[in-house]
Amino acid sequence: MFLPISDDNPHTVTPVVNYTMLAVCIVVFLWQFSLGEEAGQVAVLAYGFTPAHFFSQGAPAPGVPYVPSTLTIFTSMFMHGGWMHLAGNMFYLWIFGDNIEASLGHKRYLLFYLLCGVAAALAQGFAAPGSGVPMVGASGAISGVLGAYLVLHPRANIKVFVFLIIITVINVPAFIVLGVWIIGQLMSSAAVDAGQPGVAFIAHIGGFVAGAVLVLFMKKKSVPIFDTAHSRPFAVERRPLRMRRGGSVPRSGQRGPWDS
């Protein structure tokens, strides 16, 4: 088992947009949590992206407030299905988002982030246009950040926790970490029904591809692609376990949300 924890790219700007996205997602989730179980389900049905509503412009279920389906493409990006869903997404955004914001600039990074989220939602929607399952989560947009990172910094080293008999921290090149990630998404998408509740793998793939393409047109002219590494790959730091000291929205009826 391994877990990315940081990268070796230097911080060149204060990533105010990235911090804002993190804060908004956390605040929205706290709002969801404060609603309680039943009202929280209603919020997901109202503000999550539901392909059947988007493509047919159908009415929501009784008792669910009407929200324009085009608006839900954006509102769904800031909602999450549980604490672990939120934590995983925010962790990846924290690690990879700051360098992409520095490479694009604040305003273009905001536009880039939203466009990747839109691409992710539409990819999932076109894969299952008749689905009544609402999709929530930031990982479609964050997948776009990962795609951009792979294009700009494939040789950057990602510090990865490897959990074996001892805790080992290894520098692994980004093209390996992100390559393994996207291959996993492709394999998983082939094994599940896009119209059923669960992880929205097609959204992840759509966001990733969108980010890899968009960054070529939106990055600053001075920013190179395929940047060099800033540390030695596969360097190892071992931490014995004895030295360590101790970082889903409920289903609506029989159907739950996609988590993206």
What is the band of 218 on the pLDDT scale with cuts at 50, 70, 90? very high
**Bridge pairing between strands 198-199 and 258-259:** parallel
Tokens of 96: 């990879």
- Predicted confidence at residue 57, as pLDDT, reads 64
3-class secondary-structure state, position 153: coil
Q: Is the pTM of this model over 0.75?
A: yes
CA dist 226 and 150 (Å) reads 8
- Predicted confidence at residue 141, as pLDDT, reads 97
Q: Which residues are 160's β-sheet partners?
A: 4, 170
> Mean pLDDT: which of 106-115, 197-206, 248-257 is highest?
106-115
What is the band of 58 on the pLDDT scale with cuts at 50, 70, 90? low
**Of 28 and 193, which is predicted with more confidence?**
28
- Predicted confidence at residue 251, as pLDDT, reads 37
Q: Which residues are 2's β-sheet partners?
A: 162
What is the band of 139 on the pLDDT scale with cuts at 50, 70, 90? very high
Q: Which of 108, 201, 188, 99 is nearest to 152 (CA)?
A: 99
Mean pLDDT of 48-52: 91
Lowest-confidence region among 22-31, 77-86, 112-121, 165-174: 165-174
Tell me which residue has tokens 């590494």: 229
Mean pLDDT of 99-124: 97
Tell me the average pLDDT of the chain: 85
Calculate what percentage of the chain has a pLDDT beyond 70: 84
What is the band of 239 on the pLDDT scale with cuts at 50, 70, 90? low
Residues 6+ apart with CB under 8 A from 85: 137, 248, 259
- Domains in the chain, start-ordered, CATH in brackets? 2-246+248-259 (1.20.1540.10)
- Predicted confidence at residue 15, as pLDDT, reads 95
- Predicted confidence at residue 246, as pLDDT, reads 40
3-class secondary-structure state, position 250: coil
Mean pLDDT of 119-140: 91
pLDDT above 90 for 118: yes
